[in-house]
Structure 1
Amino acid sequence: MTTNTLEEIRRTKLVAIIRSHSSEGIENTVRSLYKGGIRAVEITMNTPGALNGIEKVKEQYPDLLIGAGTVLDAETARLAILSGASFLLAPTLNKRTIETANRYNVPMIPGVLTPTEALAAYEYGVKMVKIFPISHLGPKYLSDLKGPMPFIETMAVGGISLDNAGDYVKAGASALGIGSTLVNDKLVQQGDFTEIEKRAARFVEIINEFQSPTEIQEKSGDGYEGNFN
């Protein structure tokens, strides 16, 4: 599972981060993201009803990668995996959490910032690290980090926007984790899911500029749309 999941994340390059103060809106949010072309979604564990949300979305959208975010410890990692999470993310680096994910053959993408942390994660068996928060460091930090350690794959998270997404891809990011600039809690509360869909589509357009026509065709899928009952 680890290899296939990471291959899909590398290919689509976009992971939408859903972090909310309530479980309401998760289903509509996922539907909007899917219609906009997003094929990987992270539901953070500090969102009420996160585990149930993962289970339900997994059932309704079998071709959508559903991950659990803000996985801070091994126990949470296990619960998320048993609920169907295909990948795990965290803002921090925790060896026991990585060991649990590796035991279940589910990719863990831990949060790191320094070269030392990135190398430690790699030595723990991690295939991709989450550079977080990247917002104050910028795209050049990614290229600087990969200079001496080109074998470390990175997901840039924190402040990724429509204006800078392309710059991070150019700098060598294997993927981008996009939070409030895509899934804005205010939009969810207002029920403006059309805007979320539009933003998702725009991010996909930006990523497609860096991919071949064949890759774009593969990413488009078969047009399946989930049906929440």
Structure 2
Amino acid sequence: MNKEQALLRMKEAGVIPVMRGMKTATVIDLLQALYEGGLKAVEITIEGDEGLDSIKVAKEHFKEKLLVGAGTILSGADAQASIDAGADFIVTPIVVEDAITVAKENNCFVAIGAFSPTEIATAYSLGADIVKVFPANTLGADYLKNVKGPLPQIPLMPTGGIDLSNIQSYFNNGAICVGVGSAIYKFNTAAEITAAAREYVQAFESAKN
């Protein structure tokens, strides 16, 4: 999948669960519950021992049905390892120029983490397809609107502290998609996870209309 296709699917997905500490033994069941709730893309972070293997297992199972990205990319080597594992996109928490270089070399979609307007503009000028505004909840959804004023051309993906109580405000203030943490998947049963996923999808659809 090339980066243009990935960008379109990220916009269509709207809500991207950011999944930490994934294990290969349980990741498929967890992703299946999210998928059945209507979610179309996920980010699996790679800092854990089984992050890369979880990405590989997820892509082998879901193939093109689910967009699977790699998160917490901190170097070009991390980016390459994630792409080799089958990641459809890569996400950094900070501006990592080497990761952008590797993504470009592999025609892979990349979301670069940034916070200040200068960092956001720098990340985009270096080649980020989307800028991940992180941590978004520090200044809230109004910050997104303020950034979009002078920088309307930069697509933004706020991440951090987003839940059902504030998700629509981020879309109303300029987000093209959002990263959501464990609030969307830390439940005891698959049915609860699917129900939560469905609520987030409905919130996204309501914000679009």
TM-score band w.r.t. shorter chain: over 0.9
Once the two structures are superposed, residues 31-56 of structure 1 have per-residue CA deviations (whole angstroms, 9 ceiling, x without a partner) of 11001110001110023312221112
Identical columns (%): 32
The secondary structure found in structure 1 opposite 2:131 is strand
Report the RMSD for the aligned CA atoms in angstroms: 1.3
For these two proteins, the number of residue pairs brought into alignment is 207
Q: CA deviation at 1:192?
A: 1.9
The secondary structure found in structure 2 opposite 1:108 is strand
Q: CA deviation at 1:23?
A: 4.2
| Alpha-carbon contact 2:148-2:154 (below 8 Å) kept | yes
Query: Structure 2 vs 1, CA of residues 106 and 21 (structure 1 numbering), >3 Å: closer, same or farther?
Result: closer
The question of 1:118 aligning with 2:120 is answered yes
What residue is the counterpart of 1:153 in the other structure?
Answer: 155
Following the alignment from structure 2 to structure 1, what is the Cα–Cα distance between the partners of residues 80 and 185? Answer: 26
Structure 2, unmatched stretches of 5+, are none
| Alpha-carbon contact 2:22-2:44 (below 8 Å) kept | no
| Alpha-carbon contact 1:161-1:178 (below 8 Å) kept | yes
What residue is the counterpart of 1:83 in the other structure?
Answer: 85
What residue is the counterpart of 1:49 in the other structure?
Answer: 50
| Alpha-carbon contact 1:23-1:53 (below 8 Å) kept | yes
Q: CA deviation at 1:80?
A: 0.4
Say which of 96, 99, 102 aligns to 1:100. 102
TM-score for the superposition, normalised by structure 2: 0.95
User: Which residue identity lines up with residue 199 of structure 1 in the other structure?
Assistant: A
Query: Structure 2 vs 1, CA of residues 26 and 120 (structure 1 numbering), >3 Å: closer, same or farther?
Result: same
What residue is the counterpart of 2:72 in the other structure?
Answer: 70
Structure 1, unmatched stretches of 5+, are 213-229
What residue is the counterpart of 1:59 in the other structure?
Answer: 60
Moved more, 20-29 or 102-111: 20-29
TM-score for the superposition, normalised by structure 1: 0.87
Question: Runs in 1 of length 4+ with deviation above 6 angstroms?
Answer: none
User: Which residue identity lines up with residue 160 of structure 1 in the other structure?
Assistant: I
Following the alignment from structure 2 to structure 1, what is the Cα–Cα distance between the partners of residues 154 and 192? Answer: 35
| Alpha-carbon contact 1:16-1:40 (below 8 Å) kept | yes
The question of 1:206 aligning with 2:207 is answered no
Q: Which has the higher helix share?
A: 2
The question of 1:13 aligning with 2:14 is answered yes
The secondary structure found in structure 1 opposite 2:156 is strand
Query: Structure 2 vs 1, CA of residues 45 and 34 (structure 1 numbering), >3 Å: closer, same or farther?
Result: same
| Alpha-carbon contact 1:23-1:48 (below 8 Å) kept | no
| Alpha-carbon contact 2:22-2:50 (below 8 Å) kept | no
What residue is the counterpart of 1:215 in the other structure?
Answer: none
